[in-house]
A and B are shown apart, each in its own frame.
Chain A
């Protein structure tokens, strides 16, 4: 179980790196807002007067009890703030992944099966496009063009899914499709090359020789065996998506975690940065675990224990 050492290492790294960044929170608060007249008093208030190791131990001790501290600037509990934003980021990531897979897997399969046809070239070019065009650029172009041509923009007011699924989706679909398109590129390329590889395997030749139809060969023998690396790529993408949607969140006015993290870094809000990173690290570890479990389903030869 590498879970605990990994988390310990991540928290320690984040904890030290943010304190090493030039520009510390105490000077910021004092100079900008005059938050406290006395620097020592302010440090004490924020708990920054303690030696580094003690700060870290206190933090970990509290984190283990579910207390991630309060934001330096807003004094709101970090855990509450994260939990409020997590559903937004999570939903966006899952939707983006859904669209990504929806685009990537069929095109990947098709490109591989119809290798070197004009459609293969088209899909591959589109994939290269998806890799090279940054998501924020595409989002900007989409939102600006739609607003200029049709005076239309997706709703800017966030509605939770549980309250009104239609409104919620009408706001999230566009960013999800754009994000999905960007991430579909790498998944599509991985799907294509894995399928090409598997197509040359002996057992596939055997399947053809048995006289199985194309769809049967692809679905039963090729796809399942080609999916392991594809699932790995998807897992990596999903974890990147959880924290990496800052620009989409800004453009589409989504109150998610990415923007929250960026603001926290800008204003050196240590508890918030630590909290989000702890959360992200945990999610990535859990995701990896889930992916490992999925391997077992895809390939029964993989055994755990």
Chain B
């Protein structure tokens, strides 16, 4: 089956796993989301103006918010654009941004009132003109352009919206085709930012230019070196931002990044877990935040759909359940991450309450049960299989642990680490026996499920039609309590059907220099807003 664009877009999650896997641990830098308990803010004293903030960045491919999927892109987007709504720091609440108020009139109608007097950056071609509802309409319509392979977030609203009306300069009325539960979450997504038509028309796309209404104006952008932003003096939030300048410094090598942070060349940076204690000893005033990432590591069994029926032994549910029972999550956390990881209860990471399943739902580690299930499935002597994994990175280590654990119940796993390009080819041709893969999740709960197990899924194929139906169904349930129940039910069905075994969610570390004030380490993976940060001391 050729994935048609609609299908592809409909299920694409925010961030490409490319960006994560490519850079291994580096991916965590920009892409991490944190455990609410680890959130950290420091705002003692009165805010000071001025100074340059240097943030270590990973690779940025392009900066068009409607086209790109890499979370590093958001480091640029957050400084330069605004959306109608945004999430708070722990991702649990939606706050106003460009919209002052919003209201859901009925199951399918939403009305937004824009702030008045919001100006675009005072640079050509917009020259500081006022933002209007027409800009919002234009941006949303641009984002859901159904053009082969370009607009990666089209799936948010494509075929979901019946119309966008602009009764006046500051009012917008959205109508969905049917009740659409993820609507507000996608409106608050940092990818749904408002751009100006003139900029798109002048430059063709927004891959090299970021001109919006945000707190900073992009002054320089060299893709694999740095992006420099200066304060927007006409930002609509009075008094903000505090900083004069932000520099996103591209540092690919994790060792170099840690050294740069230690040497005080960067103010905010990802830190390797192996370096955490030594950083704390050499730079005792530095704050190192622990962050539970939004990238669960999963063990996949053979994908299947109508075109590619499942094959033995993985077509036997009991075999998949046996694999699930033979896996001990704690070992992965200990061996692969030296303790820096969290166990999982299902596809949605446990910190995403109320959507994640409770701890009691977690499949039990029971090698005896695994052996029994294998015997019942007709594989009393186990079997031999192949596991592919992209190298380098932690997933290779995880694959070794899988091999070891499955060997104990008689399943002989032959590891096939492969270079990333080759791994992606293999992975997305959906023709492999097993793989260890990094999944993505988001604020919107369906993002942890739909792209993998839904109909028209992009990243994995699982042909269970009942699960497909329920995944479609949950998006129509507006009552959150009922929707949570449905999402739980889907996850329980996935645990029972066991296409994947959920291994662990990595915990990463963010280093923040002591002079960086008023920075809340983002719980939302994407929330890299620096507008409220101020510097006290060294760099200011």
- Is A27 within 8 A of B429, CB to CB? yes
- Is A155 within 8 A of B265, CB to CB? yes
Tell me if A229 is interfacial: C-beta within 8 Å of chain B: no
Tell me if A215 is interfacial: C-beta within 8 Å of chain B: no
Tell me if A156 is interfacial: C-beta within 8 Å of chain B: yes
- Is B263 within 8 A of A37, CB to CB? no
Cα of A42 to Cα of B4 in the assembled complex, Å: 13
- Given A38-B2, A153-B263, A31:B427 Cβ within 8 A: yes
Interface stretch (choices B128-136, B250-258, B290-298): B250-258
- Is A36 within 8 A of B149, CB to CB? yes
Tell me if B249 is interfacial: C-beta within 8 Å of chain A: yes
Encode contact with B along A116-148: 1 for CB under 8 Å, 0 otherwise: 000000000000000000000000100110111
- Given A74-B61, A151-B283, A250-B252, A157:B149 Cβ within 8 A: no
Please name the residue on chain B nearest to A149 by beta carbon.
Answer: B282
Tell me if B383 is interfacial: C-beta within 8 Å of chain A: no
The interface residues of chain B lying within 8 Å CB-to-CB of A28 are: 421, 424-425
Tell me if A87 is interfacial: C-beta within 8 Å of chain B: no
Tell me if B138 is interfacial: C-beta within 8 Å of chain A: no
For window 95-117 of A, CB contacts with B under 8 Å fall at: none
- Is A31 within 8 A of B424, CB to CB? yes
The interface residues of chain B lying within 8 Å CB-to-CB of A250 are: 252-253, 256
- Is A23 within 8 A of B425, CB to CB? yes
Range, interface on chain A? 35 or more
The listed residue (B223, B251, B421) touching A23 by CB distance below 8 A is B421
For window 258-281 of A, CB contacts with B under 8 Å fall at: 259-260, 263, 266-268
- Is B149 within 8 A of A33, CB to CB? yes
Cα of A37 to Cα of B249 in the assembled complex, Å: 34
- Is B260 within 8 A of A156, CB to CB? yes
- Is A27 within 8 A of B262, CB to CB? no
The interface residues of chain B lying within 8 Å CB-to-CB of A267 are: 421
Nearest CB of B to A49, in Å:
15
- Is A34 within 8 A of B424, CB to CB? no
- Is B458 within 8 A of A34, CB to CB? yes
- Is B252 within 8 A of A259, CB to CB? yes
What 8 A-B pairs have minimum CB-CB distances, sorted nearest first? A31-B428, A37-B5, A153-B263, A23-B421, A35-B149, A34-B8, A36-B149, A23-B422
28 interchain pairs, CB-CB under 8 A: A22-B421, A23-B424, A31-B428, A32-B424, A33-B69, A34-B12, A37-B3, A38-B4, A39-B2, A41-B148, A42-B149, A74-B223, A146-B263, A147-B262, A151-B264, A151-B282, A151-B283, A152-B263, A156-B249, A156-B256, A157-B247, A158-B225, A250-B252, A251-B253, A251-B256, A253-B249, A260-B224, A266-B419
Which residues of A come within 8 Å of B, CB atoms? Answer: 21-24, 27-39, 41-42, 73-75, 140, 143-144, 146-148, 151-153, 155-158, 250-253, 255, 259-260, 263, 266-268
Apart from the given pairs A36-B148, A253-B256, 10 other A-B contacts in the complex at a CB distance below 8 Å: A22-B425, A27-B424, A32-B18, A33-B69, A38-B4, A74-B62, A143-B255, A156-B249, A266-B420, A268-B421
Which residues of B come within 8 Å of A, CB atoms? Answer: 2-6, 8-9, 12, 16-18, 22, 59, 61-62, 69, 148-150, 152, 207, 222-226, 247, 249-253, 255-256, 258-260, 262-266, 278, 282-283, 418-425, 427-429, 458
